[in-house]
Structure 1
Amino acid sequence: MITYEDGGLRALAEDGRWPELLAAYRQGRAAAVVEAGEEAAAALTAPLGHLIAYAAPPELAVRLFDRDGGAETAAGVADHDAGPLWEVLATRHSWLRLAPLLGPSPVRRLVAHTRALLGEDLSYGAEPDPEGVPLRLEPWEAAGWDETARVREYLPGGGARSALLTLPASREGLGEVELPPAAQSAGRPAGPRVARALAGLGALAPWAATACVRGQAPAAAALLARDRRVVGGYLPFALAYPALVRAAAVERSRGCAHGRLGLWRALAAMAGAGDADRADGAAGAEGTGGIDRREVNALVARMRCFTWQEPSAGLHHLHVALEDPAGGVAWVVSGSQDL
């Protein structure tokens, strides 16, 4: 089995002999698939893949994802070490360098949205996103976090640094709040858009619970909070946005681009969910799959976000209720996970 731990491969990296390293990666991955299966093969060869994605010239690094080497030799979207190999690649080179090299594939799309998260404006230099998610950050996306913390910081020899997912992060700005009784939180709306919004929020954080209520954000929080009396408060959506994006990247096989795309899908569904009780024909009229950026921006502008602390939170935790006052609907996401 060929892996990066072999001394000969480390010597090749030090000498910059990237074509030989790529050949070793492909050979090792194909052999591991035969011997141990796809999942094990991805894990065994990921350290070498990380090195190539991080340090090789982009013209060669993008070939990690090409299938011209034969069956089972190419890295897939889920191949990861400290994080997805495509995200490692995207942190190392601009879209200007990568765009002519990446073929049309899920990897290309995820790399483009990673570059957008890192501050690049791709709205004029890239093909439109198939769902209509903008290829540059909206002002509310950029406002809540520093550019250097939006994606994992990958290290040359493997590993990564990333911010902890904590919402709320502290008691600052929060106070004692009594949530409404559960009986007042019983009205749960239904409809295709509500279902899509809940599915989108659930995909962001599979380790968290989600729910929806017709009412205000504290009523939604009451559905999942452990106690009626909590330490909580309101915050701008721009400050909740980073945690919602990071929620999708808790698992190392997923990157922050997954979080951004998933959250835009959820917000697009939430933007019309106040009409969920109308006839199915009206509710389904929007159903081409496209995302209306203006609708999402309008929702974010009016949205009210409530967050609260739980007595025992894991190192990753997310407790937030998102209220659309125009539609009279609120969603809640709550859960924690230890590292």
Structure 2
Amino acid sequence: MVTEILSSSQAACARIGEVVRIYQADLTNGLSQLDATARQLYHGPNEFREQEQDSLLKKYLEQFKDPMIALLLVSAAVSLLVGQYDDALSIAVAVIIVSTVGFVQQYRSEKSLEELTRLMPPMCHCIRDGATLHLAAKELVPGDLVHIGVGDRVPADLRLGEAVNLLIDESSFTGETEPVPKQHECIQSAGQLAVINQTNIAFMGTLVASGHGKGVVIGTGEQSAFGEVVKMMKEEESNAPQSPLQQSLGTLGKQLSFYSLCVIAIITIFGVVQGRKFMEVFTIGVSLAVAAIPEGLPIVVTVTLALGVLRMSRRR
């Protein structure tokens, strides 16, 4: 059973014979179906694990956890209670706009991540028991022998053992605009080899532009170089730290909440001491506190950031 998985850099610096030995592969007949089945039970299918998705409603409601949004909601509720319907309406509209824009941005980001995972082809040409099979890509295992030709998307990370006029478009992975020439000889390197220099590796999700080749699968699913990128992006998406701007807005929201409560308390206390009616001075305090809250600030920040992201995407 193959338990050792080489990184693409390690495989690129090793001779193809050494890679074949480590993966117990066969450059002529490929794996046996029995061996492939056993390996899949150990390594799992050649696919990315899907995370549990929250409902759209839950994702939308999460936008209201922001301190600034929470402050605006409280302000709208208080304005409504004291009869300031215009203020309540304007604040509610501001909250809806900010929350909707934030939700749409998050939704687009998640969809972009899903598009990345779809770069893996559904089918591939795999050699097993000496026969070339049209096999589902998710059934590939480390050590499989795969043939790639013009128009094929590479179904897993391959250490090439044969490359004939092979050019591969790696723009989806490295951003390189020109197809990269590939060869099968090992590469001498004293340390970690950069992805762009791994010319004997065909990476998962990349597209064969011309020529053909044959290689041993060295990494599948999240154990591939492409899988590592997708995994990292998923973790970043779910545990993304707040940006300095978001942290500043959160701090501002907390400070405004504190100052607003102080204003209401001070004005109410002074008014009651002077013999005025409680509701009268309380309403005045609330009005001043609400007026001090910049309900337009979240809209300006959110829309500005959204336009910035749109402009960057257009310029690629």
More helix by share: 2
Task: Assess same fold via TM > 0.5.
Answer: no
TM-score norm. by structure 1 comes to: 0.23
- Greater RCO, CA 8 A, separation 6+: 2
TM-score norm. by structure 2 comes to: 0.24
